[in-house]
Amino acid sequence: MSLTVLNNGGGSSSIELAKANAILDKYDSWDIKREALIPVLQDFQHEYGYIPAPIAALISQRLDLTLPEIYGVATFYTDFKVLQKAEHRILLCEGIACYMCGSKGLAKLVKEKLGIEHTEVTPDGKWTVERANWCFGACNLMPIVEIDHTVYGNVTAEKLSQLIDDINTGKFKEHHH
Ranges of each domain in the chain: 2-76, 88-169
CA distance 95 to 103: 9
pLDDT > 90: percent of the chain: 51
User: Cβ atoms within 10 A of the Cβ of 139, count?
Assistant: 16
Q: What average pLDDT does the segment 46-74 reach?
A: 92
pLDDT > 70: percent of the chain: 89
Q: What is the pLDDT of residue 171?
A: 81
Torsion of CA 104, 90, 11, 58, to 10 degrees: -110
What are the tens digits of pLDDT across the range 102-121? 999 999 999 999 999 888 88
Q: Which CATH superfamily is domain 88-169 in?
A: Glutaredoxin (3.40.30.10)
Average pLDDT, the chain: 86
Give the model's confidence band at 14: pLDDT under 50 very low, under 70 low, under 90 confident, else very high. Answer: low
Cα-to-chain-centroid distance, residue 27: 28
Give the model's confidence band at 144: pLDDT under 50 very low, under 70 low, under 90 confident, else very high. Answer: very high
Q: What is the pLDDT of residue 22?
A: 93
Q: What is the pLDDT of residue 163?
A: 95
As a CATH number, domain 2-76 is: 1.10.10
The alpha-carbon radius of gyration of the chain (Å, integer) is 19
In this structure, of 1-5, 26-30, 128-132, the range with the lowest mean pLDDT score is 1-5
User: Cβ atoms within 10 A of the Cβ of 77, count?
Assistant: 11
What are the tens digits of pLDDT across the range 64-111? 999 999 999 998 887 888 877 788 989 999 888 888 899 999 999 999
pTM tops 0.85: no
Inter-CA distances, 168 with 48, 63, 87, 112, Å: 23, 42, 11, 16
Inter-CA distances, 156 with 20, 57, 70, 78, 115, Å: 44, 42, 40, 31, 18
- Which residues, 6 or more positions from 123, have their beta carbon under 8 angstroms from its beta carbon? 7, 9, 10, 11
Inter-CA distances, 27 with 9, 35, 59, 91, Å: 32, 10, 11, 38
